[in-house]
Amino acid sequence: MNMDKKLKVAIHRYALWKAYNGKCFYCGGFIQTVYDLEEEHIIPQKYKDKPTELEKILKEYNLWEDFDIDAYYNRVPTHSVCNKRKGFKLHRTESIHQYLNVLTLRSVKVATITFILSVMEIQEH
Ligand SMILES: [Zn+2]
C-alpha cells in the first residue's frame, strides 16, 4: 500500500467517523478513536464477486439495479465487536429500508468531509 492510498483510507475513515458523530451504527455507543472503528458494508462486500447473487439480493431488497457496494451509502462505522456480532448475515428487508433513509443523508456528509479533507491535504503539499 503506498502512502497515497493509506492517506485516502485514513481520510475516509475519519470522515465516516465524523459523519456519524463518532457513533457505532449498530449499538449507538461512542467509538473512542478512529482506530477502534470498523467499517461495515450493509450489503456485504463479498457480493461484489458474485453478480448473480447480488442481483437476486438487490431485487429481494427492492434496491436500485446499479446499487454500488463501495458507495458511501453502503458503508457505516461500527465497533469491531458489534460488527463481529452481526457476522456475515444479511439484514432483514425492513432494516435495510430503514437504514437507507439514514444512510443516504449521512453519505452526503461523508462525501463532503472527505472532499474538504482531501483539498486541505492537497494544499499542504
Ligand atoms: Zn457498537
pLDDT at 49: 94
Ligand 1 centroid to Cα of residue 36, in Å, is 10
Span 15-36, average pLDDT: 90
How remote is the CA of residue 111 from the centroid of ligand 1, in Å?
23
Secondary structure (3-state) at 68: coil
Q: Is the pLDDT of residue 27 over 90?
A: yes
* Mean of per-residue pLDDT scores for the chain: 85
Residue 82, pLDDT above cutoff 70: yes
Assigned CATH class of 5-116: mainly alpha
More confident residue, 120 or 15: 15
pLDDT digits (tens, 9 = 90+) for 93-124: 777 777 777 777 788 888 888 888 888 876 66
CB 93 within 8 A of CB 59: no
Give me the phi and psi of 34, to 5 degrees please: -60, -25
* Grid cell of 82 as nine digits: 458489534
pTM value > 0.75? yes
72 C-alpha to center of ligand 1: Å? 19
Residue 26 has pLDDT above 80, yes or no: yes
Q: Where are the domains of the chain?
A: 5-116
Give 77 Cα–ligand 1 centroid separation in angstroms: 9
